[in-house]
Structure 1
Amino acid sequence: MATALRELQKDLDEVKQLLEKATRKRVRDVLFAEQRKLETEISTKQQQTGESVEVQKPAAIVPPMNSSYTVKINNYGWDQSDKFVKIYITLKGVQQISAENVQVEFKERSFELLVKDLDGKNHTMTVNNLLKPISPESSSKKVKTDTVLIMCRKKAEHKWEYLTQVEKQTKEKDKPSLDTDTDPSAGLMNVLKKIYDDGDDEMKRTLNKAWVESREKQGKSDLDF
């Protein structure tokens, strides 16, 4: 039985060592629970047998880390210069945390921002499928008052109409066709249809009235001719 107690004590000592080194909350919680379980098991066996083992007294009980959760950043603004695409993310008080807590990983067609432990929360933002390639090694970030500025270095100094390929596809899909090669009035009709479909009742009444008046004028012109 003494051998079993010694083995349990070795397990407990190792769990304590791991607990001191662990940084992830979930891992620490598991180790802390295992520590309590082993301590209870050792105490029970000692009471049953009257045996004891040399117990290394801990300096202090290590409590679980304070919990924090992660939120996704959805709002941002962007603009560009000849060399850079600049993304502005507003995070109140971000300038007050350690610079090491603001991390950005750049890839040729994406970047990922992680802001750790700001007001008890982690903040993340991932942008994939950038419109054009960037140079990760020449891209950077700056922390300003209540703002994180991400600077993506363009590989080619071309103007970006959109930030991502997805944004381009979505917006260009919604654009009315302006192709007038086959019908000179087709582009205008598509624009008017788009305005009519998206408009409110007042807009629809205005367009209907304008259409009727246009047809009436056209009829009079045909008669005069």
Structure 2
Amino acid sequence: MAESAVDADDIAELETVLAAAKQPLVVGRLLQLLGEWRNEFAQRSAAAAPAAPPAAAQPPPPAPRRPSPPLAPSVTRPGATAAFVPIESFGWDQDAYPSKYVSVYLTSGLDGVGDLPRENVVCKFERDAFDLQVHGLAGRNFRLVKTALEHDIDPSESKCIVKKNRVTLKLRKVEREFGADHWGALTKKRPGAAAAGGAAGGGDKDPAAGIMDLMRDLYEEGDDNMRKTIGEAMLKSRQERAAGADDF
């Protein structure tokens, strides 16, 4: 049986679904899958390219460029459509017990962020998630989305603090009977993540089956708006692929 591998059509369909996603949980999970598929496709394409024969009188060809980091899906803002570069470098900590805040520090790659208009740096806080967006920094837009936080936070008391070259998020802990929770990690560990990673590394999983399983889980777990979004995105993808087939 031939090994099934990710192709350009699989990536295009996943990007269509990402473009319609709105919930931070959906965006985070789909973005992770898109990055894995793009890297796999880029590596396979580089390996399949024929090697150039050595030339005695010519210098060796330049080394191949490393694949660019995967971009987050396009999102609609008033008057513009923006693509986001995921923020990969950040740190977090909390003060000694009984601390009231968990602090998330972004100090790398955001030089000059404090000179932007304040409305260009926004963070949406939810009970167990946050979505930070930085627009128009050095001609690019940056984003950090974290879902399934280890403990609940109080969105109304959480803050986004912008300095000259850094951004700090202050996540307000929820007060319990004996004080606020102590956090051992920023996000919860996903059950079975190690086993799933091992299966994916084998290369035997059908990409189409993978995306359908993910869509089914999100559809069953989501509310009516999420189900409507997923249904519309899949219908649009099928229509576009059918139109492309009719052109030949």
Place the TM-score, normalised by the shorter chain, in its bin. Answer: 0.3 to 0.5
Q: TM-score, normalising length from structure 1?
A: 0.45
Higher helix proportion (structure 1 or 2): 1
* Higher relative contact order (CA closer than 8 Å, sequence separation 6+): 2
Q: TM-score, normalising length from structure 2?
A: 0.41
